[in-house]
Amino acid sequence: MSDQAIEFSEVRRTFGVTVALDSIDLTIRRGTVHAFVGENGAGKSTALGILAGRLKPSRGTVTVFGEELPYGDPRACLKNGIAAIYQELTTVPALSPEANVFLGQTASRFGFLSRRGMRRRYEELCRQVGVAPKPAGVPAGQLAVADQQLLEVLRALQVDASVMLFDEPTASLAEHERAAVLTLMKSLRERGITVVFVSHHLEEVLEVCDDISVFRDGRLIASRPRPEWTHRSLVDAMLGEDKSGKTLQEIEQNPQATVRATGDRPPILRAENVTLPGAVEDISLAIAGGEILGLGGMVGSGRTSVLRCLAGLEPRSRGRLWIDDQEVAWPKTVRRALSYGITLVPEDRKVQGLGLALPAADNVMMSNFGSVSRLGLVMPSKLRSAAAAEAAPFGFATDRIGSIAGHLSGGNQQKLLLARAANRRPRVMLVDEPTRGIDVGAKAEILLKLKEMVEAGMSIVFVSSELEEVAGVSDRVIVLNRGRVAGELKQEDGLSPQSILGHVLQVEETA
């Protein structure tokens, strides 16, 4: 039996004049976990898309166990034993968790839908990855992003595949869920399944993979066994010599915020008894001008719910709110929150944030078209110029300001979302998972820009599943657990991922 599972031979893929992959020659060994790494737009997801049957190569061939792929036919690839979990969610919001797991492969008995059988199998798959199954009948659309991502993992497990493709499967998961997925990958390898894994978390890649391939600007830079790579050499290969030194220095500093003396400043926003039935209860917080307030905790702790309440997205929420020590009506609508100078950068940029069919410029300026209009008509040249000026400080390449947002990498999409929020000149920016699913270079750019905005006087409430980021950029962190406040930590008190987790675990042990 050949040791070779997958072979790329002179593979090239173009999108118009853009070269996404250029002359890729690559061999993936049978029964191994093989990582594709690189910055957003490097070509790794395009290579995965060809393997999954979503894309056809413009030139070259790809073979799996000696057979050429049925290009552009995901169903045929699935029948041939290739299962894929994509970076962006493909769940159907109105269906139950178990129905989403069985999409395209519904369980039946004597020609009738077997709901009990699907439920039993769903619960069995949940046990395999070490998570609790969701209650029957709860629509998947009401689940957190992390829980919906887990449904994607379970769906791939349901297929008896010889090759399994994972595109950022852990981007939204808590630490214990992430560890369960990595353990699952190892067990798949032990059963002889070939796993191809795309991730921006280099620690995960170094932990679980047998071989690592680095892509940059559509080219394969290097492909070597795991023992020949280090974190430093991976970043150097991903970014190139001209960028790696500066970015590494920024990242290795974790990007640690300078401790700003905010204790003597009056809060510009104070919220008390924030409550959303079934999500959070009696949460109080205050934020001073020029401060980053982190919300720490595990997935499902209520972090996103607090942001949505403050942003006016939860009409059922209640609480009391003060702006500059003056009590104002609780924001039940987004318009009211915006009138207070509060804006939200949502966690799901594709579903909740961007108009993917619109140009980048329109996405940046859509909340302020009046500034680029004359007599009620938007002036295209002024629109592009203003949008480029707003997006450039976030590291967005201004020559792509006319590109369709849906064609951009995840990092560039996130920069558009932040630029649009900043364009409103808010006093308080609520930022939810700003680095989810983006590469190490774009992550450093975004975190450093957030720090610059705060140093210029803006206030930020920051949420991330990466506790290292929360500890690194925040002046204070309010720790949440099960929808309640579990404690508060400050930089001067030794704020760290361990101290955040300590508060969470202390509450869990008490409960």
Q: Domain range holding 77? A: 4-242
Judged by phi (left if over 0) then psi (alpha if -120 to 50, else beta), residue 490 lies in: beta
Give the three-state DSSP class for 143.
coil
- Mean pLDDT (whole number) for 60-76: 91
- Mean pLDDT (whole number) for 190-194: 87
Residue 42 belongs to some domain of the structure: yes
Q: Whole-model pTM above 0.75? A: no
Indicate if the pLDDT at residue 245 is higher than 50: no
Nearest to 361 by CA among 398, 402, 316: 402
pLDDT given for residue 165 in this prediction: 92
Tell me the C-alpha distance between 473 and 91, whole Å: 33
Q: Does one domain contain both 451 and 370? A: no
Q: Which of 242, 276, 294 is the last residue of a domain?
A: 242
- Mean pLDDT (whole number) for 32-54: 88
Helix or strand run (H / E) with residue 124: helix 115-129
Strand 219-225 and strand 292-296: pairing? unpaired
Both structure tokens of 152: 């994607």
Indicate if the pLDDT at residue 17 is higher than 80: no
Contacts 24+ apart (CB under 8 A), 127-130: 128/157, 128/184, 129/153, 129/154, 129/157, 129/177, 129/180, 129/181, 129/184, 130/176, 130/177, 130/180, 130/183
Indicate if the pLDDT at residue 408 is higher than 70: yes
- Burial pattern 290-304, b for ≥16 Cβ within 10 A else e, equals bbbbbbbbbbbbbbb
- Burial pattern 230-245, b for ≥16 Cβ within 10 A else e, equals eeeebbbbbbeeeebe
pLDDT given for residue 172 in this prediction: 60
C-beta of residue 275 within 8 angstroms of C-beta of residue 282 = yes
- Residue 397 CA: distances (Å) to CA of 134, 392, 394, 411, 429: 42, 7, 9, 11, 23
Residue 326 belongs to some domain of the structure: yes
Q: Does one domain contain both 126 and 43? A: yes
pLDDT given for residue 258 in this prediction: 41
Q: Which of 424, 452, 469 is the last residue of a domain?
A: 424
Q: Does one domain contain both 213 and 173? A: yes
Nearest to 498 by CA among 470, 473, 476: 470
Indicate if the pLDDT at residue 437 is higher than 50: yes
Q: Does one domain contain both 479 and 392? A: no
Strand 67-68 and strand 267-276: pairing? unpaired
Residue 374 belongs to some domain of the structure: yes
What is the band of 423 on the pLDDT scale with cuts at 50, 70, 90? confident
pLDDT given for residue 393 in this prediction: 87
Both structure tokens of 58: 């413009």
- Mean pLDDT (whole number) for 467-492: 87
pLDDT given for residue 344 in this prediction: 93
Both structure tokens of 210: 């047998």
- Mean pLDDT (whole number) for 38-43: 77
Both structure tokens of 183: 């353990």
User: Mind listing the pLDDT tens digit for each residue in 212-231?
Assistant: 999 988 999 999 999 999 88
* Cα 128–Cα 130–Cα 133 angle in degrees, nearest 5: 90
Residue 235 belongs to some domain of the structure: yes
pLDDT given for residue 266 in this prediction: 81
User: Mind listing the pLDDT tens digit for each residue in 143-173?
Assistant: 876 678 778 778 877 877 889 998 887 766 6
User: Mind listing the pLDDT tens digit for each residue in 287-322?
Assistant: 999 999 999 887 678 899 999 999 999 999 999 999
Strand 377-378 and strand 326-328: pairing? unpaired
| Neighbouring residues of 467: CB distance < 8 A, sequence distance ≥ 6 | 175, 296, 497, 500, 501
Q: Does one domain contain both 238 and 263? A: no
Structure-token match 């139950």, residue found: 96
User: Mind listing the pLDDT tens digit for each residue in 325-363?
Assistant: 999 999 999 999 999 999 999 988 887 888 888 999 999
Between 281 and 255, residue with greater pLDDT: 281
Helix or strand run (H / E) with residue 306: helix 303-310
Question: Tell me, what CATH number does 89's domain have?
Answer: 3.40.50.300
Residue 247 belongs to some domain of the structure: no
Q: Does one domain contain both 92 and 172? A: yes
Q: Does one domain contain both 35 and 135? A: yes
Between 96 and 88, residue with greater pLDDT: 96
pLDDT given for residue 238 in this prediction: 81
Q: Does one domain contain both 16 and 100? A: yes
User: Mind listing the pLDDT tens digit for each residue in 169-186?
Assistant: 776 666 666 787 788 888
Q: Does one domain contain both 22 and 60? A: yes
Residue 70 belongs to some domain of the structure: yes
Residue 46 belongs to some domain of the structure: yes
C-beta of residue 345 within 8 angstroms of C-beta of residue 409 = no
Residue 248 belongs to some domain of the structure: no
Q: Does one domain contain both 94 and 223? A: yes
Question: Domains in the chain: how many in total?
Answer: 3
pLDDT averaged over every residue in the chain: 84
Indicate if the pLDDT at residue 278 is higher than 80: yes
Indicate if the pLDDT at residue 259 is higher than 70: no
Give the three-state DSSP class for 196.
strand
Q: Does one domain contain both 374 and 510? A: no
pLDDT given for residue 110 in this prediction: 44
CA dihedral 219, 356, 339, 460 (to 10 degrees): -20
Q: Mind spelling out the 3-state secondary structure of 349-408? A: HHHHHCCCCCEHHHHHHCCCHHHHEECCEECHHHHHHHHHHHHHHHCCCHHHCCCEHHHC
Q: Does one domain contain both 107 and 209? A: yes
pLDDT given for residue 508 in this prediction: 45
Q: Which of 188, 211, 242 is the last residue of a domain?
A: 242
User: Mind listing the pLDDT tens digit for each residue in 349-399?
Assistant: 887 888 888 999 999 998 878 888 888 888 888 899 999 998 988 888 888
What is the band of 257 on the pLDDT scale with cuts at 50, 70, 90? very low
| Neighbouring residues of 271: CB distance < 8 A, sequence distance ≥ 6 | 283, 284, 285, 286, 310, 319, 320, 321, 322
